[in-house]
Chain A
Amino acid sequence: MAFKHVNKGVRRVDAYEKVTGKAKFGADLEFANMLHAKVLRTEYPHAEIEKIETAAAEGMPGVRGVFTAKDIPNNLFGVIVQDQQVLADKKVLLAGDGVAMAVAETEAQAAAALEKIKVEYRELEGVFDPLESRKEGALKLHPEKDDNQVIHHPLRKGDVKKGFAEADVILEREYTTQFIEHSYLEPEAVVVVPNEENHLVSVYGSIQNPYATRNAVSAVLEVELAEVRVIQNHIGGSFGGKDEVVSAMAARAAVMALKTGRPVKMVNSREESFTESYKRHPYHLTYKIGATKEGKLTAMEIAAVADSGGYACQTPFVTWRSVVQATGPYEVENVKTDTYGYYTNNPYTGAMRGYGSPQVIFAQESLMDELAAELGLEPVELRKRNMYSQGSVTASGQKLERHTVSLNEVMSKAMEAIDYKKKYEEYSREQPGDKKKGIGLSISFRGCSLGAEAIDAAASVIQINKDGSVAVYSGLAENGQGLKTIFSQIAAEVLGVPMSEVEFKELDTSFTPDSGSTVASRATLIGGNAIKDAAEKLKGRIMDFAAGKYDFKIDQLELKDGFLYDGQGNRLATFADLTGEMGNTGILMSAYGWYKSPPISWDEEKGSGNPYFTYVYGCQIAEVEVDTGTGELSVLNMAAAHDVGRAINPENVKGQIYGGVMMGLGYGIMEELEVRDGVIQGTNFHDYMIPTIKDMPDIKPVIVENPDPDGPFGAKSIGEPTLELGSAAIANAVAHASGRRIRSLPLNLERVLIGRALHKGGK
């Protein structure tokens, strides 16, 4: 198929604003008469609040109000489980829980007021390890619940006893992963304006999921959804991170905006952001795997325990993705998987790019290399003998047949890109000196979109103005990933207009229908289909009208480059004249688009069903050098091959790959949010290091395209798969180079050198 706009590296539609400094982010917003607010957060991970005294703070200069939990109409919210406090009421459950807030004429005055608030706590013992939290008799953190378990997802297939009996080799291994900070460059920021244009409150700011924030604000204020309007501004990165934490911020600002009758702005400092935001879940994983001596997997038994921190947040869904993908992309007859989430008094954990996959992939792809070594097989060979191919059946019993199962293709293309075979052979030989090179790979399958977590549908609106310009609205949100550009390309492609005629409009929850959250790498797939639907409806109307007007059959007409053509390539009219005329004859020139995903299923008890309607496949390979004398680890090269179905914008896809690989590199070898007895050690970028430009390996992105029958123009997902594979590939390369198998992330200096961390809290 020849495309005009789709499958092309067209420029981002929002780039001009961003390179000129014109793009307004949350902290850049100003409204007349605006107040500023700050939150007082507790330093205790677990304590009862005995008394809060606010009188002194209220009397401070410029202060317009000081509020606590008793001022919040409904203090509990949450996307899945409503257990998160807007402000801690009787008990703080984690260090960083807000306990009071002050609003004042300036930010400095609000901050000064916080210093005058007196809170008396009765410190409680805390639970800081999910493995402790799950023990019988453990201190209960949410007294209204039976125990500390947030969730348990079982999956059963075949008979693991029988499977292990058939095995010639059985390995049992434990792996652990760490807390990760999203580290979006822009700290959270919102402004809430009261009583604006028939809305009780309007919420502006850096909001990942405007509908989730609207739900939270309306629930907290106990008002109807229609009274709350959320308008998304430019957002300085999110990666899953600007959901609940921003909803809490918006709800707090909304309460203060209503109390004062004035716009209220809240902007977190980096330290506040670190302290209060949720993190990626640390996992404790135990894997038992059995295989025949020919290298055929016979059974896998997996338990994964996730630290949910003080609140449930997204733990139920994060661990659900883990249960579906825990075996990796391998055919195994007998599987027993259990994933769990437990409350602790640690920072709470939620959605972060990958969403329960990076942890299990690190474990399971490390394990495959360990097994290969045990069996005397090459890592690639063991994978080839077991990995999914067309028609394979997954652990949950889903037959992979509707889309192309391209594991073999992504793997061989990644291998080619980095010259794997040659390097593998070379580095497998004895290497003189301290510096040793190694190469390692990992592969994955990943369910696209939400899956059986929730209803998976999205909306769009397209409006053609009388001059032929096209306004596009979507219920899904730009997070920096390039959604506005992708959706504009799809609209331009269907309507046959130049990109310059397409205007993507800001998301306003009062105008576009609820489309759920911009998560799960679902925007292109689900939202793109909704855009295509609206554009096709309009195109249908245009073609009907044109066929009548020019007396052609519809299939003889074509919309292209802003013109209507007949079958012979003659221009009949401009798009603007034609659609303008339609508008003038009273034809509706706007359309709603809607897309609902194909049916999916899940049996919570057995862990069986068709959890996702399609999957993507990826392979990443890392080439490293380890100094076995000093422990220094350098990642020299990486290749990343991802099947995206169809790349709507290949340059964007590459950007996702580069960014995801680097984030995966941070996860693999650098980043670890140190939490000691519930308290974060170091709340800025000098303590928590993310990869800089100097940490870049040479990255070779490889785009693989096998169009999906259900994707818009065949497109699927790319955002998350790029990040989930790197840590295992690097760990495998380190083992290849040094002979040391590290089962704990990050693979830092000490771990490479002596196999364990030296600092306190290291495992």
Chain B
Amino acid sequence: MKEFAYFPGCSLEKLAIGYHVSALETAKKLGMKLHEIEDWNCCGSTTYFHIDELLAYTLSARNLAIAEKTGLDLVAPCSACYKNMYFTVAHMKKDPDLAEHINYALEEDGLHFSGQINVRHLIEVYMEDIGTEEIKNNVTHPLEGVRVAPYYGCQILRPKKDHMDIEHPLFFEELLTAIGATPVDYPLKTRCCGGSLIISSRPAALTMVKNLLQSAVDRQASVIATACPMCQVNLECYQQSVNQEFGTNYSIPVLYFTQLVGLALGIAPKKLGIGKELVSALPVLATS
């Protein structure tokens, strides 16, 4: 049994509850245990760095220190949490003064972070620690004929972590192939969804969302797959806003990769949080 420390992050408590439950269900089925770390705090998302760089690292470091006590790799399902924690480790290793200052603050909560932890994205763990072979062996309901647009987004790829092809990644396509789906090749798969601009600069963000939806629809995708709650919300919950703004008629479901994997593993849709979408996933379920 492979075990990991698990940092769900704020969105997965409610807004992205479907990601949370489907991550836990599929992990179990694939022989993997995710231990949620105790009393974690918000990682600061992409917004905290606007205010104070040092506090932003400290917020992540508290979670890292809590996770480090487990001796396990730390897994984050949200790309922004992943990126923040990944680079907090890198910076603290590189800069002893920074590490000392942050650890001085962590003392207030009886914590210390020594830098001995690997931060991983959930999809990375599925690909590297479980592997497509193992996933394929567990598939009972292959998603045959379902055309899926894999959406990578930004923070999972950028800034560059030490091990990924950031211009032409293919791991998402490989995962989709393993569950019997047909990955759709579309040019905007690593283009930004707008992130928090959906709040702070809505016209720009809606254009970005529209371009992405159009790019997926142009290639006849029937569903978009994501690995990040921010991307999911922008692409799904703001489809109606896009339609209102541009007079378009998009209605394409946006599911988490774990939900699609779960369906292929024969897990009941309800257990995967399917049914909580604003754009119904039923057309996808009908074809699977």
Q: Is B a genuine binding partner of A? A: no
A residues near B (Cβ < 8 Å) are none
